[in-house]
Structure formats: C-alpha cells, structure tokens
Chain A
Amino acid sequence: MQLHSGENRPSEEGQHLSQIETFYDVMRRQGITRRSFMKYCSLTAAALGLSPSFVPKIAHAMETKPRTPVIWVHGLECTCCSESFIRSAHPLAKDVVLSMISLDYDDTLMAAAGHQAEAALQDTIEKYKGNYILAVEGNPPLNEDGMYCIVGGKPFVDQLKHAAEHAKAVISWGACASYGCVQAAKPNPTRATPVHKVITDKPIIKVPGCPPIAEVMTGVITYMLTFDRLPELDRQGRPAMFYSQRIHDKCYRRPHFDAGQFVETWDDENARKGYCLYKMGCKGPTTYNACSTVRWNEGVSFPIQSGHGCIGCSEDGFWDQGSFYDRVTDLTQFGVEANADKVGMAAAGVVGAGVAAHAAISALKAAQRKTQSDKEEA
C-alpha cells in the first residue's frame, strides 16, 4: 500500500481512506485473518508483560481506534535499526506492524523515489497533522549547517524539524537517535547530535541499543499504536518495560560471576564451560537492556552467549568509555546494586530538572573515566 508514495492510485481508494480506518480494517485489508489477529493480540500482551486479561482490551482498541500513522526518517546512521526490525521474532507481529506503518512514509523500504518520495512525506505530514508518530533512525549532524547529511537537497536536520513539528510523539530508534552513537565518538567530526537535543517540544521515547532488539521495537510501537500513549519511561526516557533490568542480573552466566569463575582468555577451558566474561571486559554489570531475557535473532542467542562480553550499546556514550575489552571499573563506585534510576534521581535531585539529568549523568561518567586508567587520554 504505497498510498502516499506518490504513485497513481485509483481515486475510489483515496475516498475510502478519507474515512478513518481502524487498525483492524488495515490488517484485514492486508489479508491478515481474524485468527492471526487474535494471536497477535496475545503475543503483544505477552511481549509487553501484560496479563492475558489484556488481550480482549488490545483487540477492542485495535478494532475501534483509528490507526495512528507513522513516519520513519533516517539521518546519520547505518540502517541497522531497520535491519533489526524487519526480522523480529514473530513474522506475524512484524507483518502486522509493517502493515500499519507501510501506509505512510519510510524511505528505506517504500516504493517511491526522489521527488515522489519527498511529496509523499509532505502529503503524510499534511494529512495527519498532529496525529502521527515520527520514528527517527539516526541523528542529525549540526556542523557546517548540517551539510554532512543532505536529504532531498536539504540538511537532514531541517527534514527532522519539519517532520517533528506536527508529530504527536517522537520515537528515537537506537543509540544514534537516542545518544549519538559511534558517529558522535570523539572527535565527533560532524557534531552528530541526538534527537532530543534538536527536538525539545515533543514527547520523545528513546529506544537505545545498537541496534535495539527487534521485539523491543515492535513492542514499543505496538503499545503506542494500541493504547495511544507512551509506555512508562525511566529517568532516561527509555520504556521501563524493556530497560529496567540489568543484563548482568538476568544473565545465564551470573552464577559463575557470583562463584568467581571467569574466562581468562578467549576460547580457554573456562570459555568452553561458559564461565563469566567480566574479566574479558563485559559491560553487562552497567547495562540496562532486555538482551539476556528477550535475546536476539528470534530469541536464538545474545552476545554473551556467543562468548563475547556485552559492550553496553544501549547506554549513553558506550563508544567512548575506553577499550571495549577493559574491565568495568565503576562497579564499586556505584555499588553493585545501584541502578540507572537511582543514579538518574540523584542527579535530578541536584540539578532539580529531569531534562538536565541526562547531561549530569554524562558528566558523572566523564568524571569516572578520569579515575580509570590513563590510556584513554586521547
């Protein structure tokens, strides 16, 4: 359905769309059966950690609520978020979510090109003013007036601001949009800047990770489309349902950490026994994400299970914290049981504003870095 992709469509379909469709209408039109639809509602409830009693509520909402349009734009990024998204665990969930958003605008997957695509974006903005969700993958570079990322002859930052102006809410997909990610690594040659530093007057939900887990992405978007509100967020603006648990606490290798059994070198005997990777630089103890529970590639595995430590890709600044193979040294400083919320609240308490908490946390981390080994000078 590239209704807004600028291709010629029969006019009766245009009229049909002028009425407000429900999600259910859209799905049925996409050939999804009633049975599949109900299955999808159950899966969604489970993914969101809701009890089975929520299934009829989700179904009712999808049947009666007008669908929420989604515009998906790309800035400085590598498309790993889209790549992750399109292989989410349940083909059903992916199909359903894609069928919901495919009506609108996604410049990696859609059919149109060039001026048609630009027109499609403009049409969608006009048509759903104030009603659509803007999903941002990547971030805008601000150096040299944004010239390092040009979309349709204009800096991406302009497209982003323009699309955000009439958005109901913004989703920052991945570490790039949420925090800047690698292109913001020192010396940040293009001044790559996270979305919330550019868009300051809209609700923003951060879904960090490089990339985020597919099921987390479908879960978040389904929640917003179904309940028409943001999920509960933690202090850093991440959906609490997926980012409230430390990798370390749910890690299947945790008993080995507690028992003091560690991998000492790659592929040693301890590695084959599945011992803890802490000494190999695992950042699981300071990383909040659902990898150790939801896992990756349809629940097959996650990095620690492949014998490599976590690099903390869902945390702010993970790309500039010294070597990825250095041991986590701030464990004792925070105390093993401190969590991101407590740190965030302490910081918020000091500065008295949630918005500034983010910067304060970064400053804290910068201060910690100085206490680490000196080889990180550069």
Chain B
Amino acid sequence: MSETSLLVGPFNRVEGDLEIRLEIAEGRVTAAYTNSPMFRGFERMLLGKPPLDALTITPRICGICSISQSVAAARALADAAGIAPAPEGARVAALLHAVENMSDHLTHFHLFFMPDFARPDYAGRRWHDRAVARFTAMEGSALKAAVEARARLLHIVGLLGGRWPHTLAIQPGGVTRAVSMRDKIRIGASLKAFRDYLEGVLFGAPLEAFAELDSIDRLKGWDRGDVALFLEIAADLDLARAGPGPGRYLSFGAYPGPDGPAFGRGIWAGGVAGPLDTGAIAEDISHAWMLGETAHPREGDTRPDETMRAGAYSWCKAPRLDGRSFETGALARQVIDGHPLALALADEGGVRARVAGRLLEIARTQRVLEALAGAINPARPFMAAVELPQEGAGEGLVEAARGALGHWCRIEGGQIASYQIIAPTTWNFSPRDATGTPGPVEAALEGARVAGGEDTPLSVQHIVRSFDPCMVCTVH
C-alpha cells in the first residue's frame, strides 16, 4: 500500500522533453529514474562532414544555449588546428557567450523556476499573492520585465553576432565582426541598461552589494527585489534542504582571458578543491539505450540501441569523472571559483543553493561583461588565420549557463571522423552507471516529499527545475 511508482512527465517549462519515474514509499521518493525521451543523433550527422560545418550544425542542438555550442565547436577546431584565436576575437566570443549565459539565468529564474510558486497549491501562504502577481506563468509582472530586459541585452549579440539564436560569427580564429568604436559605445549602453534593470528590479540594490555577501546568514538577510521574495519562499518551504546533489562539483572554467578564465576551472568534492583532469572523463552506457563500451569521449561512439533493451531507460549516457558523478552549473562554477557565499552554499547543496548560486553568478557576471566590453581594442585583428589539418583531434571545453560543456572532435582525410559532445545536463541528468550509482538529479530526488494524491509532486518540480535542465542538449 505504501509503496508506489509514479511516472512524472512531460515537464513543462524545461527546455526539451523529460520524464522521471519515481518509486515512492511512506510519502518519500526512494528511487528516481530520469529519462530523456528525445534523440536526434547530431554526433552521427557530423560524421563525414567538412569540419567547419560543426560551427553551423552543433549550435542547432539547442536554441537556448546555441552560443555555448558554437564556442565549444570553435575551440575544438582551433585546438585541432593547434592555434589560438586572435585575442580580440576571443574577447568578443567570451562577451557573446557571457551575454547568452546571463540571458539563460534570467530566463530560468523568471520563466521556468519561479512560476511554480504561483500555483494554487500554495494559496494561503503569506507570500502567495505576491508570487502570483510577479510570477504567474506568461503574465506575471516580473516575467514581462525580465523578457524585455533580456531582449535588450541580446541586442549585443544581434550587433556582434548578426542574430540570436544560432549566431554564426564565432569561428576558430576569432569572430567575423570587427568591433568599431561606435559598436563599443552601443554595447556599453546596452550593458548599462541591463545593470539598471538588475539593480532596480531583480536585486533591488547595487550588484556589488550582493556579490559581496559571504555567508548564508547574510544571504538570508537580503530583503530587496525579487531576490528577497525567492529567499522568503525558500525559507518558508525549507528549500535549503530539498534536493541535495552529490556534493561534488565540476567546472571547465568560464570566459578565458589572457590571465586565465574569469571563473576558475577545477573540481570540488567532499569539501576539498582540486584540479580537473579531463582525461579521467568517461561516458558509461550501462543504463542508456546505446551500443558500445564505456569510453572517453575521444574514443566514444553514438550508436542508438534500437531494441531499447530492458535494463536501460534513457537515451542519455552517464558521464563520470574518475568513476564518480558530478554536478555542474552556476553553483558549481561559483564554488570552484572560491566565492565565500558559494562555498557556504556548496555544503547545503539543495534547491536554494542552486538558485542562489545562479543569482550570485548573475551579479558577478555583469562585472565580467563590463570588463570584457571595456577592454575591446577596435584597432587590433579580430580573427587569426586558421588552416584546419587533414588529420587531427581537438577538444573544446566551455561553461554553458547550465554547466560544463565539452566537444571532442577528430578529423581524418579532411572530414569529421568522430564528434562527441557532453552537455551540462548530460552530467546532471545522467542515468545510473554500471555500479548502479544514480546521476546527480536521481540522487537529489531521493527523499523528496510526495503528498498523498499528488501526481506531479511539487517538491519534485522544484528540485528538477533547480538544476535548470536543458534536455535537448542532454541527448543530442
């Protein structure tokens, strides 16, 4: 009587399709199985194509994080050619990428995550009326303001990249658009307008004040903007303890510059920071409908198992580092960058920590954007000459909004001979591995409360969305 199984999905307000099977006993989730029910086969389409086609094809994996894919592809090809992009080009690519990540964070908070608190299920809570007014799906006042601010911020991508999504300007050697002094001023104006929005609406105070928070107590004391509403809800619903992840975080390092990435690279496990060895990455396919062996993405393959064999339950492979699952995303990036608030949140590791980590990153990324834009020198070259090799291999490691994204490419006879992609949500939403260890979300869902009669448990919704899943990237 007390043991039941529940299939939750499709999920709305996540990018792409997702289904989760829950085993429930005594009002708690005892086991979760995530399935990414959409497979398109990008890694197969790329085979035999001219290597530069990856710049056009891989961004189309995802219409939300297309620049991340574009930057990763450009880096993988540059790596194969053994060249570095022109410094100004790299700067503009980082600027474009940071704008997209910022937009995604804004989208997640307003369009995907917060609307759940406007549900009638929460009627009667002291914050509910405000949540309804601000965050009701598609019509809350905060949503409209965020969508408009985001559209204006994306003018920068429009200006430098021609359009968003599916920008074409980012190349292995840099960017196709040389930035003029006039462009630089327009970018500065767009960034100023965005800062005004963030400080006036989302945070209700200077971003620096939020970025300076260094403890959970100080975070809890934040009483301005929509951030305060989130924190109030989080305290009332105890979101701090909902959905703790594996406690291991991974980041490839975001926005590389001459002095290293703006947000550092590395891992953090069991309270200890460490270096990242990408050679220790392997994709386990024991529970995926894929054929082949566990392999490093350099040697990996993507052959769907059309029999959809029993025992497997997802199209998603299970990436592991040294055989262990890792959580990736904004919180992970901030933890690995060593920010004191993020380190405090890392121990907490639940829904509140993920969302607060994202807000912290918004506050900090604005300064990164301003620094990148300010440093552009219009007189210098924006593109280095690149000769792609007939034979070669390269890796492109970037940080998308949702976490670590890697492209591994091998060129033979002037054509793509192998192309493997591990997306952030592949890490976070991976199925079990050969040892039976669940993926980060599967682990986070264990213990989630399920009230009687709930067929789409609210706690599960909050936990899943706190990761900001992008399912179209997960299985590509």
Contacts and interface: CB of A to CB of B under 8 A. Distances in A.
Nearest to A118: B10
Interface in A180-205: 181-183, 185-190, 192
A152 B169 contact: no
A21 interface: no
A134 interface: no
A183 B62 CA distance: 12
Interface in A81-138: 81-84, 86-87, 91, 94-95, 98-99, 102, 107-118
A149 B38 contact: yes
A104 to B, nearest CB: 11
A266 interface: yes
Nearest to B41: A189
B138 A78 contact: no
A307 B176 contact: yes
- Most chain B CB within 10 A, of A80, A81, A108, A266, is at A266
B144 to A, nearest CB: 7
B257 interface: no
Nearest to A281: B52
A301 B19 contact: no
Interface in A1-51: 1-2, 5, 7-8, 30
B147 interface: yes
Interface in B140-187: 144, 147-148, 150-152, 154-155, 157-169, 171, 173-178
Interface string A157-190: 0000000000000000000000001110111111
A252 interface: no
A7 B132 CA distance: 13
Interface in B3-57: 7-13, 15-17, 19, 37-42, 44-45, 47-50, 52-53, 55-57
Nearest to B60: A182
Contacts of A322: 50
Contact of B161 (A2, A113, A185, A306): A306
Interface stretch (A221-229, A292-300, A350-358): A292-300
A152 B176 contact: no
B391 interface: no
Given A86-B147, A91-B148, A111-B137, A150 B176 contact: no
Contacts of A324: 52-53, 55-56
A1 B176 contact: no
Contacts of A144: 306, 308
Contacts of B118: 111
B111 interface: yes
A303 to B, nearest CB: 4
A94 B472 CA distance: 25
A222 B176 CA distance: 35
A125 B47 CA distance: 41
B66 to A, nearest CB: 7
Contacts of A98: 138
Interface stretch (B73-81, B290-298, B351-359, B378-386): B378-386
A144 to B, nearest CB: 5
B177 A306 contact: yes
Given A78-B66, A150-B17, A375-B50, A300 B177 contact: no
B17 A149 contact: yes
Contacts, number: 252
A365 B236 CA distance: 62
Nearest to B470: A79
B45 A189 contact: yes
A83 B64 contact: yes
B178 A30 contact: no
B17 A267 contact: no
- Most chain A CB within 10 A, of B41, B66, B455, is at B41
A311 interface: yes
A82 B63 contact: yes
- Most chain A CB within 10 A, of B38, B152, B383, B456, is at B38
B139 interface: yes
Given A78-B60, A306-B168, 15 more contacts: A110-B137, A111-B12, A113-B11, A113-B13, A187-B44, A188-B45, A189-B41, A192-B40, A267-B176, A272-B178, A291-B163, A296-B158, A307-B175, A319-B56, A324-B52
7 contacts: A296-B162, A300-B155, A302-B163, A303-B167, A306-B161, A306-B177, A307-B169
User: 7 closest A-B pairs (Cβ-Cβ)?
Assistant: A80-B63, A297-B158, A189-B41, A306-B162, A378-B48, A300-B158, A296-B163
Interface of A: 1-2, 5, 7-8, 30, 74, 76-84, 86-87, 91, 94-95, 98-99, 102, 107-118, 141, 143-144, 147-153, 181-183, 185-190, 192, 210-211, 265-267, 271-272, 291, 296-298, 300-309, 311, 313, 319, 322-325, 375, 378
